[in-house]
Structure 1
Amino acid sequence: MSNIGLFFGSDDGNTEGVALRICARLGVERVDLYDIADVTQLEIAGYQQLIFGIPTWDFGQLQSDWEDFWQDLQEIDFSGKTVALFGLGDQFGYGDYFLDAMGMLHDVVTANGAAVVGHWCTEGYEYEASKAEIPGEGKFVGLGIDEDQQEELTGERMNRWCRQIAEEFGLKGGAGAIKELDD
């Protein structure tokens, strides 16, 4: 078992693709990758450091596999665990619900005791409202990705966020151990 468990849900492949790219940056030897459709509570509970990836669908809805797992997720004790979040959304097509699923996921894990790291600046995004925005701080609860409108920014955003969470997770070598990729 690696240091970090990365759990994602993906219907169209975008969130899975981002999850794979995050693993490449952090180092595959450090990260175990799971599709949320195929896991149990015990697999999540086995990690002290977790990364969750979730897209927002339509008008602020959960991705289908996360929705199926939601009740199980609400029963997990996250006390003593450190969690980083990344979310995908479309800030122009669904600007009133941008990254809402990531905000809902944040609310569940923090209510169950998790310490959340990897907060991300809202600068550079254009949206109307988001459940993932921390009120008054100019930050999201995790990394925001828009593969529909800002795909060209995804690689650099992931590079910076992975350096940040490497430090916040206390990984050996910290930010210097992260692979900078140009994908």
Structure 2
Amino acid sequence: MSKTAIIYSYNTQKSKKVAEKVIAAFGETGIEAVNAEELSKEVFENYDNFIVSAPTWFDGELPNYWDEFLPDLEEMDLSKKTFAIFGLGDQKGYPENYCDAIGLLAEILEECGAKLVGQTSVEGYTFESSKAKRGDVFVGLALDQENQPRLTKDRVTNWVEQLKKEFL
């Protein structure tokens, strides 16, 4: 497998726990952790594959650390890079924008030429709308630690197995 980074904020609790589950599920093949709050262009030059955390903040927004890096990101050519996105949201508290950050980040990455992998089914979720939803799939892994925490481990394990096949 090509060199893979997982990008998440080291200062978050829920996203950090999910990222640690992803890292553990990759096992011996290994991936390298990068703090999302310390992103630089060099990070994107040094890896082929990326797993990125995009928790939805407030009413469907990207976290501040992504917002701050967007001007640099939007100038990059990511046409030789592959990305998988996971995000956290709250289906009951924010059903009208569940895991929107996944969709927002996916759109930006695609505009930069990135290849997206790691789509997952929307089955088993209850929400009104989501920018992460395209047809009958999410463009990444949507997780709800507020209402479905017991499903996270299996969802992460299955997703990582899928990524191992999709990251070439």
Q: TM-score, normalised by structure 1?
A: 0.86
Shift of 1:28: 6.2
Change (3 A) 1:106 1:49: same
What are the within-5 Å matches in structure 2 for residues 114-129 of structure 1? Answer: 114-129=114-129
| Counterpart check, 1:163 vs 2:161 | yes
> What is the DSSP-based 3-state SS (H/G/I as helix, E as strand, rest coil) of the residue aligned with 2:92?
coil
Aligned residues: 167
> What is the DSSP-based 3-state SS (H/G/I as helix, E as strand, rest coil) of the residue aligned with 1:87?
strand
AA in 1 matched with 2:18:
V
> What is the DSSP-based 3-state SS (H/G/I as helix, E as strand, rest coil) of the residue aligned with 1:7?
strand
Give the equivalent residue in structure 1 for 2:150: 152
In the alignment, the residues of structure 2 paired with residue 12 and residue 47 of structure 1 have an alpha-carbon distance, to the nearest angstrom, of 23
> Which runs of 5 or more residues in structure 1 are unaligned?
171-183
In the alignment, the residues of structure 2 paired with residue 157 and residue 101 of structure 1 have an alpha-carbon distance, to the nearest angstrom, of 18
- Maintained 8 Å contact 1:9/1:55: no
Shift of 1:12: 3.7
Greater length-normalized contact order (CA 8 Å, ≥ 6 residues apart): 2
> What is the DSSP-based 3-state SS (H/G/I as helix, E as strand, rest coil) of the residue aligned with 1:96?
helix
Change (3 A) 1:71 1:9: farther
Shift of 1:4: 0.3
In the alignment, the residues of structure 1 paired with residue 147 and residue 10 of structure 2 have an alpha-carbon distance, to the nearest angstrom, of 18
- Maintained 8 Å contact 1:91/1:146: yes
Give the equivalent residue in structure 2 for 1:19: 19
- Maintained 8 Å contact 1:10/1:65: no
Give the equivalent residue in structure 2 for 1:46: 46
What are the within-5 Å matches in structure 2 for residues 72-111 of structure 1? Answer: 72-111=72-111
AA in 1 matched with 2:141:
L
Shift of 1:77: 1.3
Shift of 1:45: 2.1
| Counterpart check, 1:7 vs 2:27 | no
Q: Which runs of 4+ in 1 moved over 6 A?
A: none
> Which runs of 5 or more residues in structure 2 are unaligned?
none
AA in 2 matched with 1:103:
G
> What is the DSSP-based 3-state SS (H/G/I as helix, E as strand, rest coil) of the residue aligned with 2:147?
coil
| Deviations, residues 83-131 of structure 1 (Å, cap 9, x unaligned) | 1111111111001011111101000111111110100000000000000
> What is the DSSP-based 3-state SS (H/G/I as helix, E as strand, rest coil) of the residue aligned with 1:21?
helix
In the alignment, the residues of structure 1 paired with residue 8 and residue 76 of structure 2 have an alpha-carbon distance, to the nearest angstrom, of 16
Shift of 1:21: 1.0
What is the alpha-carbon root mean square deviation over aligned residues?
Answer: 1.4
- Maintained 8 Å contact 1:11/1:64: no
Shift of 1:69: 1.5
More moved, 159-168 vs 20-29:
20-29
Q: TM-score, normalised by structure 2?
A: 0.94
